[in-house]
């Protein structure tokens, strides 16, 4: 078994497991924000670069950047469907919307700069498109503990499959499917089942703020890979993504603090006249 295959099987699931545990500890905002970081796509693009070469990976990175638009379609469509339907119908609807968006992006094939501008505008506008979570929170069921293994297995399978067939898929489709919502899909479904639609909508909306770092990672990688070695390109891209991720977290925390708070029912004892 090659070292690259071992990394595919171990590295990505380990990262997914860590993100899952962090989300359970700090709630939907942190879970959504962390899950949007390129914890799957970065290793996947690294493996593609190692196996197919830097030019191929640079083209794939540009396609992965444009695929942020498809992921935003997935999140918004699931959130709106979740207001009225179960997780099964919501997932089917959002997955169909995602595949249609991928097909449109593959046919459109925007240039790197056009993709970057489109993604930036979408990230600014999309949070306002999400539905407002229900005021009355649903009763939370016990959190399913086995879902962490499903998330880890899904991430490992995605990396192995996409890298295995990247030569046949070509750089554009490899890049588009590098943004497949492996974490977001499993995270969203289990959150919907265990915590209800309000929690899920908040989590999906928080993912948007994490995609700034993701987009920056892909943009820097696509720009730098043709001009330097693979290790240096990924180091610069990840450093940029981490810096933007920290800034987006500060913005997200301020947005939560400044957002109107939902009413909290407080039982006030009746007063007796003196």
**pLDDT over 70 at 138, yes or no:** no
pLDDT of residue 19: 73
Burial degree of 153 (CB within 10 A; 0-12, 13-18, 19+):
middle
**pLDDT over 80 at 193, yes or no:** yes
Asked whether residue 44 is assigned to any structural domain, the reply reads: yes
Asked whether residue 28 is assigned to any structural domain, the reply reads: yes
pLDDT of residue 270: 42
146 secondary structure, DSSP code: T
Range scoring the smallest mean pLDDT among 13-17, 137-141, 264-268:
264-268
Work out the mean pLDDT of the chain and round it to a whole number. Answer: 82
Write out the residue range of the structural domain in which residue 137 sits: 3-258
Asked whether residue 35 is assigned to any structural domain, the reply reads: yes
Asked whether residue 119 is assigned to any structural domain, the reply reads: yes
In total, how many domains does the chain have? 1
Taking the C-alpha atoms of residue 174 and residue 52, their distance in angstroms, rounded to an integer, is 11
Asked whether residue 264 is assigned to any structural domain, the reply reads: no
pLDDT of residue 252: 64
Taking the C-alpha atoms of residue 5 and residue 99, their distance in angstroms, rounded to an integer, is 28
Sign, CA torsion 129/140/92/170 = positive
Q: Which tens digits make up the pLDDT trace of 211-262?
A: 999 999 999 999 999 999 999 999 999 999 999 988 887 876 665 555 554 4
Asked whether residue 265 is assigned to any structural domain, the reply reads: no
Asked whether residue 96 is assigned to any structural domain, the reply reads: yes
* Per-residue CA distances from 40 to 153, 160, 218, 261 (Å): 12, 11, 13, 34
For the entire predicted model, the pTM comes to: 0.81
pLDDT of residue 140: 47
Q: Which tens digits make up the pLDDT trace of 55-81?
A: 999 999 999 999 999 999 999 999 999
Q: Using alpha carbons only, what angle is made at residue 126 by residues 27 and 112, rounded to the nearest 5 degrees? A: 110
Q: CA-based Rg of the chain, rounded to a whole angstrom?
A: 20
More confident residue, 51 or 140: 51
Asked whether residue 196 is assigned to any structural domain, the reply reads: yes
């Amino acid at each position: 078994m090659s070292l690259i295959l071992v990394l595919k099987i171990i590295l990505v699931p380990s990262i997914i497991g860590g993100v899952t545990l962090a989300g359970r500890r700090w709630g939907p905002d942190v879970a959504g924000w962390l899950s949007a970081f390129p914890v799957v796509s970065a290793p996947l693009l690294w493996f593609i670069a190692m196996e197919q070469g830097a030019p191929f990976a640079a083209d794939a990175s540009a396609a992965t950047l444009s695929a942020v638009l498809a992921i935003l379609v997935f999140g918004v469509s699931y959130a709106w469907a979740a207001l009225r339907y179960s997780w099964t119908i919501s997932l089917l609807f959002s997955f169909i919307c995602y595949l249609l968006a991928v097909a449109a992006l593959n046919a459109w094939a925007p240039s790197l700069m056009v993709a970057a501008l489109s993604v930036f505008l979408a990230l600014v506008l999309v949070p306002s498109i999400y539905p407002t979570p229900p005021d009355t929170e649903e009763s939370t069921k016990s959190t399913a503990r086995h879902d962490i293994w499903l998330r880890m297995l899904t991430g490992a399978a995605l990396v192995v499959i996409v890298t295995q067939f990247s030569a046949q898929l070509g750089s554009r489709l490899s890049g588009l499917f590098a943004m497949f919502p492996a974490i977001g899909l499993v995270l969203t479904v289990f959150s919907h089942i265990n915590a209800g639609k309000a929690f899920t909508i908040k989590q999906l909306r928080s993912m948007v703020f994490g995609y700034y770092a993701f987009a920056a990672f892909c943009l820097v990688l696509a720009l730098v890979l043709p001009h330097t070695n693979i290790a240096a390109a990924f180091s610069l891209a990840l450093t940029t993504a981490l810096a933007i991720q920290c800034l987006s977290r500060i913005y997200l925390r301020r947005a939560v603090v400044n957002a109107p708070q939902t009413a909290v029912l407080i039982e006030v004892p009746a007063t007796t006249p003196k």
